[in-house]
Structure 1
């Protein structure tokens, strides 16, 4: 389904900020998308892959704030603050061919028919079918298993399980693998690891020896699931490089290279919160002076609002 991602007006931005401020980062990111994609059901957004969610958030960010992104980091060697500057298009260029082909920019070509490099003033159309999870094959020890990319729903359920009072040990790599592998593949891997366990416990042992060996076998099973998850993550990055956005920064003081992970949901929210704070100050000043409603003030053009504030201050 091809849908449009356009910018929000001042009233919509304030409403989004108010509705999302108490949410977890995962739910907040989906709430932001829902504001930009009102025709897409909320539960459908939760079923999108995380990389699809972040890809759509990049388009929403561009429609709302433009191409430029500036983030602050710290050098891992000397703790000096570093500034990283890049564009939405830089990140979109690092995505898979599938995601690149899904984006269409309205009015994206000049009079000669050449496509503009940056579309920060244009709304985007995106084929959201590419955000729906599909299964891929991965090989372990000569056998093939089916897995998919994680979704927001996976993330929410895993986090809920991890924080549950009934799960004091927290979420395990096995639980994560269970979410990502299809049922048959997960069962097959469980059988493989169980066979290894049974082979290790076949000999006659004392109770103490059995306890010690069982602990060792449990540890080996955990290592096996950790290795499985590591392999899945590497394959995810190969399929969709935008799965994890890592940025390298050179320290201006010591020259050390530091790798930073970029979160578009966090970046969007930071800019939205700063923007809404300015909007609310405008409302406070003009409502106090004229008695106008918040909706009326935020519906004004920025130029008219600035002029009224200048008149109040003077």
Structure 2
């Protein structure tokens, strides 16, 4: 994880984040000043940002909206006050309404981003200056420290070539918090086909099988928000099967689908599964963010060999896409 420290100073009314990267500072600068790259990490997992404006010049304005896993929306606004390319820039950072205008009911702050060379690559330092101790306390209580840390942890995938970052590493599982796990897998094929393979029941029955020795006789897919889905697996040759069911709660066709999930016939809370796809140079990075009800449930499910079973399925998926 690139973040090395996050500290608050109530006397100076600041929050300082420091992160180190194994690339030149010019590469990190580019990630923060290109809106298409910036929106890949500006926003914690499960709340990706979409920049609707980005006028990178003194006096210019950038606006964005972050969309939560259930379709919730939160807006932000930057006004660029100082730019010293390629070492630093400063913005007035505020919450924004649906039109991109500053929300006067929420505190605004001043943020500086600086980029410097280190023996191992580069260092990013972000300092947020708050107007009052109340504003600092309010935003920290809203999860600013945790959100910023998890957001910056996504920068690794942006700074490297996608194939270089993920090729040959198989399915990777990262524990982000007590409730959140992120699973990533590079699929050597276009996003359109990977999306189709997740939403065509006949294709799903060919690859979404977990370890060898299972079949998928039922694959009822949810295609519209509010639709229910139902998947059932049975062992080859007969025997006791199992299944999952849930609801599609948010969809951005072709790139993102969020579903609830619970085991058929089991009581208690389930999970929230946030699937997103990003294509670069003909390859697709599949990211699945899973929200568990608690750490105990998370650990119990991970201990079943989930990652290994998913890798077997994703390897079939890649073969299917390549075919």
TM-score range, shorter chain: under 0.3
The TM-score, its normalising length taken from structure 1, stands at 0.23
Whose RCO is larger (CA < 8 A, sep 6+)?
1
Structure 1 or 2, whichever has the larger Rg, is 1
The structure that is strand-richer by fraction is: 2
The TM-score, its normalising length taken from structure 2, stands at 0.22
